[in-house]
């Protein structure tokens, strides 16, 4: 058994919405590009050990909170991880745990905690699969390589953000830049981690990075655009309206919408334009422009879902209360724009100076709701101590 590794990740909240093209293992490439902010106030913490399975009687095990997960749900993710890392391990045995080389079979033993509701529309799949990727990969490295590798990833994130300036580097070219890690031949770099995370969940490819990210249409990886300190005043106020598991997973909703909504194609055609404008607004830190595009993005996504057969309707009456409240506050001059994901929760984008006034208004409208305020947060982080 190897020393356990703990990795944390935070949800990446889509300001402009991703929708998977062909959801399923390995093929959930984005049909629509997304632009997201990684949040700093809620997180997933995942601990992984590699265990021997010489009798072949123990496969990968994953427990989230106190719920043992069905192995099938993660089979595609682990299979891809082994397929990608296997050749690297064989070619660079000196960097990896000796027990994962030619020795007996091995498996991942995973314990994970989300400090927010799972599968409720708060992007647990984004932080969950990103933290799982970070913890699994680090658990395979020899302990003495882990800290230098983690430090090199921090430097790589900065250098990738710098390379992502005008003119925008083409997706295919950019992918090559971050696949490997300078100074660590054979060890996966950040874009490889993003691609591995994407196998579990599209939005997880973004949570590998901090700050602001882009998941381009058709790309297998997310791109880091700007670090968390690019726009320190940016805030997302999560307004949790229900902690229940959503009735239809986002993946099923994606498939159904793609297969049955007459508006699907129109939305997919329109989305790239919105994403390009949103990138420009982000670069200028133009909250009004970005906020307006955010509203276009989520309402076009939901209009498409409402038109599916059977219709996909995640909204609760309270969702509409918050949407109307945001419109009312905007009409009074407050900078606040809402968005929603596959779930009933509403998320408000604003700037730090307006947070107190917005919170007062939310409390007045929905006294039992406890909003959570987030600034731009970090991507993957590995921690020494763990309470898991």
Q: Which residues are CB-neighbours of 37 under 8 A, at least 6 positions away? A: 12, 13, 15, 211, 212, 213, 234, 236, 376
Tell me which of 164, 251, 285, 330 binds ligand DP6, using CB under 6 A.
251
* 80 in contact with ligand ADP (CB under 6 A): no
What is d(CA 291, CA 327) in angstroms, rounded to the nearest whole number? 12
Q: Which stretch binds ligand DP6 (CB under 6 A): 14-22, 38-46, 167-175, 355-363?
A: 14-22
Peptide bond preceding 289: is omega within 30 degrees of 0, i.e. cis? no
Tell me which of 31, 119, 130, 191 binds ligand ADP, using CB under 6 A.
119
* 33 in contact with ligand DP6 (CB under 6 A): no
* 202 in contact with ligand DP6 (CB under 6 A): yes
User: Can you tell me whether residue 351 is helix, strand or coil?
Assistant: strand
Q: Which of residues 121-150 bind ligand ADP (CB under 6 A)?
A: 121-125, 128-129, 132
In the complex with ligand DP6, the residue whose CB is nearer, 60 or 341, is 341
What is d(CA 332, CA 326) in angstroms, rounded to the nearest whole number? 10
Where residue 211 falls (left for φ over 0; alpha for ψ -120 to 50; beta otherwise) is left
**∠ CA 153-134-75, rounded to 5°:** 145
- Distance, CA of 360 to chain centre: 29
* 380 in contact with ligand ADP (CB under 6 A): no
Based on its alpha-carbon atoms, the radius of gyration of the chain, rounded to whole angstroms, reads 20
Q: Quick one: what does residue 210 bind among ligand DP6, ligand ADP, none, with the CB cut-off 5 to 8 Å set by partner type?
A: none
* 250 in contact with ligand DP6 (CB under 6 A): yes
Rounded to 10°, the helix 190-200/143-163 angle is: 100
Phi, psi of 142 (to 5 degrees): -60, 140
* 79 in contact with ligand ADP (CB under 6 A): no
Q: Which residue has the tokens 């082994």?
A: 82
* 125 in contact with ligand DP6 (CB under 6 A): yes
* 77 in contact with ligand DP6 (CB under 6 A): no
What is d(CA 312, CA 290) in angstroms, rounded to the nearest whole number? 26
* 20 in contact with ligand ADP (CB under 6 A): no
Q: Quick one: what does residue 18 bind among ligand DP6, ligand ADP, none, with the CB cut-off 5 to 8 Å set by partner type?
A: ligand DP6
Q: Which residue number has the CB closest to ligand ADP?
A: 128
Positions touching ligand DP6 (CB under 6 A) are 14, 17-18, 20, 23, 28, 34, 123, 125-126, 201-203, 250-251, 254, 341-342
Chain residues in the site for ligand ADP (CB under 6 A): 44, 46, 64, 73, 112, 114, 118-125, 128-129, 132, 246, 249-250, 342-343
């Amino acid at each position: 058994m190897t020393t356990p590794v703990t990795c944390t990740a935070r949800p990446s909240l889509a300001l402009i919405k991703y929708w998977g093209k062909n959801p399923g293992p390995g093929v959930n490439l984005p049909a629509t590009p997304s632009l997201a902010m990684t949040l700093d106030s809620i997180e997933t913490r995942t601990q992984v050990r590699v265990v021997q399975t010489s009798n072949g009687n123990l496969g990968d095990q994953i427990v989230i909170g106190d719920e043992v997960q069905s192995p099938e749900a993660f089979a595609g993710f682990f299979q891809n991880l082994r397929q990608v890392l296997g050749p690297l391990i064989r070619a660079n045995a000196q960097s990896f745990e000796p027990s994962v080389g030619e020795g007996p079979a091995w498996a991942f033993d995973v314990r994970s905690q989300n400090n927010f509701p799972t599968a409720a529309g708060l992007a647990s799949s984004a932080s969950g699969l990103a933290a799982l990727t970070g913890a699994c990969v680090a658990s395979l490295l020899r302990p003495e390589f882990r800290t230098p590798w983690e430090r090199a990833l921090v430097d790589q994130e900065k250098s990738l953000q710098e390379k992502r300036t005008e003119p925008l580097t083409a997706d295919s070219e950019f992918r090559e830049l971050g696949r490997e890690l300078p100074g660590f031949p054979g060890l996966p770099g950040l874009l490889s981690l993003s691609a591995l995370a994407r196998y579990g969940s599209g939005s997880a490819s973004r949570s590998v990075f901090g700050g602001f990210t882009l998941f381009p249409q058709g790309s297998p990886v997310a791109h880091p655009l700007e670090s968390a300190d690019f726009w320190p005043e940016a805030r997302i106020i999560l307004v949790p309206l229900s902690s229940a598991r959503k009735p239809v997973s986002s993946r099923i909703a994606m498939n159904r919408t793609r297969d049955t909504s007459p508006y699907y194609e129109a939305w997919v055609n329109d989305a790239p334009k919105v994403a390009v404008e949103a990138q420009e607004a982000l670069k200028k830190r133009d909250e009004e422009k970005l906020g307006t595009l955010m509203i276009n993005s989520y309402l076009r996504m939901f209009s498409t879902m409402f038109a599916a057969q059977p219709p996909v309707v995640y909204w609760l009456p309270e969702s509409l209360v918050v949407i109307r409240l945001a419109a009312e506050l905007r009409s009074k001059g407050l900078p606040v724009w809402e968005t929603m994901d596959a779930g009933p929760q509403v998320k408000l984008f604003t700037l730090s100076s307006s947070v107190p006034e917005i919170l007062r208004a939310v409390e007045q409208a929905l006294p039992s709701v406890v909003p959570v305020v987030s600034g731009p947060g970090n991507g993957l982080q590995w921690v020494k101590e763990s309470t898991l």
